[in-house]
Structure 1
Amino acid sequence: MNDLDLFTPAPGIPEVRLTLLAVPSTVALARELVRYALTNWGFDREVISDSALVMSEIVTNAVAAARDQQIRLRCALNEGAPLLECWDPSPELPTRCPEYLMAENGRGLALISAYAKEAGTRPSSTGEGKIVWAQMPA
């Protein structure tokens, strides 16, 4: 079960954060977070849809890496475009699997690369875990 902790820094600051438990149902909540934020920030339907897809792939990887642990999502604006981030406590980086057209798993990083302007990983500032991020086109 998820314990929702929604954080918005201050009115007018385009950033929303959410701390959730890394379980499969979290993926749907991550999509809704992105839809909520980007709709309120005035983005068009295509950017919202693409961003929700990318965040769901990022969070799916976090759920696999840190099952039943807390993860932190962040949706913000960077130079007028959506920036999507997910922290998880696992130091293991996501890896790209061979792509098979009919595969149900292993296509997440390929989808992220196809829709994001730029994407990557970085260590957490605390030294614990990693942040997987995607900068979307505006």
Structure 2
Amino acid sequence: MNDLEFVTSAHGVPEVRLTLLAVPSSVVLARELVRYTLTNWGFDREVIDDASLVMSEIVSNAVAATPGHRIRLGCALRAGAPLLECWDPSPGLPVRCPPSLTSENGRGLAIVTALAKETGTRPSATGEGKVVWARMHS
């Protein structure tokens, strides 16, 4: 089920893609994918740690939205900065809500927007689901 691709675009931009099942253990794989990729691309520890946490939060939301379905992750370079993406088949957009002091959930999007330079969502190219993305600081 898991499918890992190392690709280079027509413009020479490296990208790593990984297809996983939307299950909680996939969050660990997503984090390690980012850590491994950004280490090999020469980023410093702070960027790697921030990007790993951001991908964890994005994938956690995809797992919650589409348990048991396939999700696709991407890690690429855009303008010298890591671009993290996660596609899931749910059309529902992530919603940022203020967590209560005792809540175990609800902080993910706040973490993503605090650590990333830019974030957003877009419809998938196939029209099924959406892509949640975050461009990190370089």
- What TM-score, normalized to structure 2? 0.94
- After the TM superposition, list the runs of 4 or more consecutive aligned residues in structure 1 that deviate by more than 4 angstroms: none
Correspondences of 1:1-138 after superposition (within 5 Å): 3-10=1-8, 13-138=13-138
CA deviation map 1:92-123 (0-9, x unaligned): 01111223344310111000000000001000
User: What is the distance in 2 between the residues matched to 1:97 and 1:91?
Assistant: 18
Q: Structure 1: 5+ residue runs without aligned partners?
A: none
User: What is the distance in 2 between the residues matched to 1:67 and 1:136?
Assistant: 27
Change (3 A) 1:45 1:102: farther
Counterpart contact for 1:15–1:74, Cα < 8 Å: yes
Q: Structure 2: 5+ residue runs without aligned partners?
A: none
User: What is the distance in 2 between the residues matched to 1:8 and 1:75?
Assistant: 10
User: What is the distance in 1 between the residues matched to 2:102 and 2:111?
Assistant: 14
CA deviation map 1:43-96 (0-9, x unaligned): 000100000000000000000111000000000000000000000000001111
Counterpart residue type for residue 92 of structure 2: E
Counterpart residue type for residue 93 of structure 2: L
Q: How many residues align?
A: 136
Counterpart contact for 1:62–1:71, Cα < 8 Å: yes
User: What is the distance in 2 between the residues matched to 1:26 and 1:97?
Assistant: 24
3-state SS of paired residue (1:8): strand
Counterpart contact for 1:54–1:111, Cα < 8 Å: yes
User: What is the distance in 1 between the residues matched to 2:72 and 2:135?
Assistant: 17
**Structure 1 residue 14: Cα displacement:** 1.8
Identical-residue share of aligned pairs (%): 72
Counterpart residue type for residue 9 of structure 1: V
Counterpart residue type for residue 5 of structure 1: D
User: What is the distance in 1 between the residues matched to 2:87 and 2:54?
Assistant: 15
- What TM-score, normalized to structure 1? 0.94
**Structure 1 residue 13: Cα displacement:** 4.4
